[in-house]
A and B are shown apart, each in its own frame.
Chain A
Amino acid sequence: MPDQPVTLITGTRKGIGKYLSEYYVAKGHAVIGCSRDAVDWSLEGYTHLRADVTDEKAVVQLFATIRHKYGRLHNLINNAGIANMNHTLLTPMSTVRDIVGTNVFGTFLFCREGAKLMSKALYGRIVNFTTVATPLKLEGEAVYAASKAAVKSLTEVMAREFASYHITVNAVGPTPVPTDLIRSVPRSKMERLLQRQAIVRYGEMEDISNVIDFFLSPQSGFVTGQNIYLGGV
């Protein structure tokens, strides 16, 4: 491992992605972030690339840019994700496409292109995002929970496919963290959800980065295909 890790994080415009960008810049990483839109913040050590994570051509171009500028990629954090609380009977197909597109197709594309870049160096760390909504079988989140179940499955299979390149693929499944993603969910519903965790509280950003730190660690080369749910779910 060279001195400065190169870390790509998706969905960095706000929320957890923005926090992780600041966190890993502070830890000395060269952080590349991406989102569909420009960010309204800037940070030394952070480079923003605009891309729709579901657009194959745009994603391939993004990785070509990274290859030219940095030559390699150590860490990929697939944070970009969308949720939409809705009863199945009230969920339009366009919402299903959006959620599956960003959460599944986006994660797949970044894993595929990221692993291509990492494979040359025979080193890489990929961290995907799952959710406790899947094991908790949350009503109103059928599509979101299913899309993240797919991400868990991708994580487990890719871990095996990429193992010979010394690329690990793991996932973290956060509990609700006070971000935009859950802003529209009624408070009573959130309380009921928290009650189903072993540790009854909202997640903190630091809870997530703690798990990611473990997965990204060069010492975690024997840890792959794993998913860690927070809060004891």
Chain B
Amino acid sequence: MKDRIRSLIYRAMEHQNALRTEPLDASRGVETHLFGEGGQLDSMGLVSLIVSVEEEVESEFGVNLILASDRAMSGRRSPFATVGALADYVESLMGEGAKNA
């Protein structure tokens, strides 16, 4: 499950690269910084990546997730800091979705 989520995040990053002048560097794997300190994305880039990840989640798992939430945007540990944090966050949201279903 986690591997599939990480893969779809990398795919979403590749989609973003088509729109960027400087491609996102994913060479550090799950440690790849996305947003915040040392991050490669500005706020607009983050918005685009979130949209792309939501689409990939829907395509991969058939689940409609809304990644932006009060908790995600204001939490001390941003779920958008790294690829790994984002994968953990997506997995936790999918778990919540399954519980609520």
Contact = CB atoms under 8 A, between A and B. Distances in A.
A228 B52 CA distance: 34
Given A64-B58, A164-B44, A119 B64 contact: no
A116 B58 CA distance: 14
A119 B54 CA distance: 13
Contacts of B52: 120
Contact of A61 (B48, B54, B55, B64): B64
A149 interface: no
A116 B66 contact: no
Contacts of B72: none
B interface SS class:
helix
Q: Interface residues of B toward A: which range?
A: 10 to 19
Interface string B15-44: 100010000000000000000000000001
B93 interface: no
B14 to A, nearest CB: 13
B51 interface: yes
A201 interface: no
A122 to B, nearest CB: 8
A56 interface: yes
Contacts of A60: 64, 66
Contacts of B64: 57, 60-61, 64
Contacts of A116: 51, 54
A61 B15 CA distance: 22
18 contacts: A56-B66, A57-B64, A60-B64, A60-B66, A61-B64, A64-B58, A64-B64, A67-B55, A67-B58, A116-B51, A116-B54, A119-B48, A119-B51, A120-B15, A120-B51, A120-B52, A122-B19, A164-B44
Sort A-B residue pairs by CB-CB distance and give the 7 closest, nearest first. Answer: A60-B64, A116-B51, A64-B58, A64-B64, A61-B64, A164-B44, A119-B51
